[in-house]
C-alpha cells in the first residue's frame, strides 16, 4: 500500500514509523527540504502551488492524507482528483475556518461558546455588545498554538485588538471561565466503525500544549458526551481516519473548541500508553483495515519538548520514560520532541513526570 502524506513534519514522521510495520510505504510532500521524514519515506520538495509536483506526488499512490490542517485546499483538491484523500476535503475545509467550524458544531447540536463573525471595526463593537466582555478575538484562518488571537478584557481593549488583527476575517468568541481543557481522540474506519481513546486532560502555556495526562479523571457522563460529540462530527463528514476534538470542561458542561482532522499532539501518549497508537489507527483507517483497540495501558503523562533539547540520557534513566525527538533544529518555543512517562497508577505516572520536569530546562518544557 502506497500512502502519500501532504506535509512532512513530526506527525508525518510518526505516521511513517507506525505504518511501515504494516507493510505501507510513504511519500511526503512539503516545501521544506529539511523536513524530518528522510528515513521513513520519499520526500518531494515543492511549493503547494506547484501543479506538476503535485501530479508527481499523486502518481502511483493508493491513498493520500495530510498531517496538518493549514495546507492550501487547492493542493488537497488537486491530489483528490488523482487519488482518494482521507479524511475528506470537506472536513479539512471546515477545520480551516473557525466560523464554518462553529456553524458545523451548532448544526450538529454540539455546545460551543457564543460567537460572532467580525469583518469590520463596527462588527467588532456590535459583537462585543451582544456576547459581552471579556472575549477572544481570533483570525478565522491560520491560527494555531495561540497565534492569531487577542483577549479583550474590556471596552478599552477593542481598539488595540482591532489594530493587531484587523484586515482579515475574524471571529469574536465569549471568554469562557472553565475548569480544564480536555480532548478526545477518535478513529473511524472506511466501513464506519468508530473507536474512541480515553479522554485526555491538557495543559497549555501561551496557547502551546505543554502536557497531556491520560486517561483524564472524568466521569462516565462526560465521557459519553465527548464520544457523542466526536461520533456526530465523524458521521457528518463521512470521516475516515483519526480526529481530535478539543473541549473546555466548565462544571458539568463540555464545550467544543475546535477539531483537528488528523493525528494530534494530545494523542502522542498512545504510542506507549494505548493498545494501538493513534498513528497506527490512522494508517489502518485510511487503508481499509480493521481498527486496533484503543484502551489505555496504565497511565501516561506526555510532555512536549519546546525550544532546546534537555539532558536525554538523564531523562531515559527515569523509569517508564520514553523519549521521542523529531530531528528538528532548536528554535524558541518550537516543538522538537516529546517525552511520555507511563506507570501502572496515576500517582506514580505523575511522580515520574515530575522527575522528568526537574531534569528538563525551563525553556524546553513549559507546564
Over residues 251-261, the pLDDT tens digits come to 999 999 999 99
Q: Same domain for 260 and 349? A: yes
Q: Same domain for 67 and 156? A: no
Of the pLDDT bands very low, low, confident and very high (cuts 50, 70, 90), residue 148 is: confident
pLDDT of 92 higher than 80: yes
pLDDT tens, residue by residue, 304-336: 999 999 999 999 999 999 999 999 999 998 999
Q: pTM here?
A: 0.95
Q: Same domain for 170 and 184? A: no
Which residues constitute the domain of residue 119? Answer: 114-174
Last residue of a domain, one of 70, 85, 100: 85
**Is residue 187 domain-resident?**
yes
Q: Same domain for 127 and 228? A: no
**Is residue 103 domain-resident?**
no
Overall number of domains in the chain: 3
To which H or E segment does residue 322 belong? strand 321-325
Q: Same domain for 166 and 204? A: no
Peptide bond between residue 7 and the one before it cis (omega within 30 degrees of 0): no
Reading the block at residue 245, the C-alpha cell is: 476534538
Nearest alpha-carbon partner for 24 in 326, 294, 292, 286: 286
CATH classification at residue 261: 3.30.470.20
Q: Same domain for 187 and 279? A: yes
Q: Same domain for 76 and 127? A: no
CA distance 342 to 364: 20
**Is residue 106 domain-resident?**
no
Return phi, psi of residue 357, to 5°. -60, -40
The predicted structure's pLDDT at residue 218: 97
CB 282 within 8 A of CB 187: yes
Last residue of a domain, one of 174, 201, 223: 174
CATH classification at residue 77: 3.40.50.20
Amino acid at each position: 500500500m502506497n500512502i502519500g502524506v501532504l506535509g512532512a513534519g513530526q506527525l508525518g514522521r510518526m505516521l511513517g514509523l507506525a505504518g511501515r510495520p504494516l507493510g505501507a510505504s510513504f511519500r511526503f510532500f512539503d516545501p521544506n527540504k529539511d523536513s524530518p521524514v528522510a528515513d521513513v519515506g520519499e520526500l518531494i520538495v515543492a511549493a503547494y502551488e506547484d501543479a506538476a509536483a503535485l501530479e508527481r506526488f499523486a502518481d502511483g499512490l493508493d491513498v493520500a492524507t495530510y498531517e496538518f490542517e493549514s495546507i492550501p485546499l487547492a493542493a488537497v483538491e488537486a491530489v483528490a482528483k488523482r487519488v482518494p484523500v482521507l479524511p475528506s476535503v470537506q472536513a479539512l475545509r471546515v477545520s480551516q475556518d473557525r466560523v464554518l467550524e462553529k456553524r458545523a458544531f451548532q448544526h450538529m447540536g454540539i455546545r460551543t461558546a457564543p460567537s460572532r463573525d467580525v469583518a469590520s471595526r463596527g462588527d467588532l463593537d456590535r459583537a462585543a455588545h451582544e456576547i459581552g466582555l471579556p472575549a477572544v478575538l481570533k483570525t478565522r484562518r491560520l491560527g494555531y498554538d495561540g497565534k492569531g488571537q487577542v483577549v479583550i478584557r474590556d471596552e478599552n481593549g477593542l481598539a488595540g485588538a482591532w489594530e493587531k488583527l484587523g484586515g482579515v476575517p475574524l471571529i469574536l468568541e465569549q471568554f469562557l471561565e472553565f475548569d480544564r481543557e480536555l480532548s478526545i481522540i477518535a478513529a473511524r474506519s472506511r466501513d464506519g466503525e468508530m473507536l474512541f481513546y480515553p479522554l485526555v486532560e491538557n495543559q497549555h502555556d501561551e496557547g502551546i500544549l505543554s502536557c497531556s495526562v491520560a486517561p483524564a479523571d472524568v466521569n462516565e457522563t462526560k465521557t459519553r458526551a465527548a464520544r457523542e460529540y466526536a461520533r456526530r462530527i465523524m458521521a457528518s463528514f463521512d470521516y475516515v481516519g483519526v480526529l481530535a476534538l478539543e473541549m473546555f470542561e466548565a462544571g458539568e458542561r463540555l464545550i467544543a473548541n475546535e477539531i483537528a482532522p488528523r493525528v494530534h499532539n494530545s494523542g502522542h501518549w498512545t504510542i506507549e500508553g494505548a493498545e494501538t497508537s493513534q498513528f497506527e489507527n490512522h494508517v489502518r483507517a485510511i487503508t481499509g483495515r480493521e481498527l486496533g483497540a484503543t484502551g489505555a495501558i496504565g497511565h501516561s503523562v506526555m510532555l512536549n519538548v519546546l525550544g532546546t533539547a534537555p539532558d536525554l540520557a538523564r531523562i531515559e534513566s527515569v523509569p517508564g520514560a520514553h523519549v521521542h525527538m523529531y530531528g528538528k533544529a532548536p528554535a524558541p518555543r518550537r516543538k522538537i520532541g516529546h517525552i511520555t512517562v507511563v506507570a501502572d497508577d496515576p500517582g506514580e505516572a505523575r511522580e515520574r513526570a515530575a522527575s522528568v520536569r526537574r531534569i528538563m530546562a525551563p525553556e524546553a518544557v513549559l507546564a
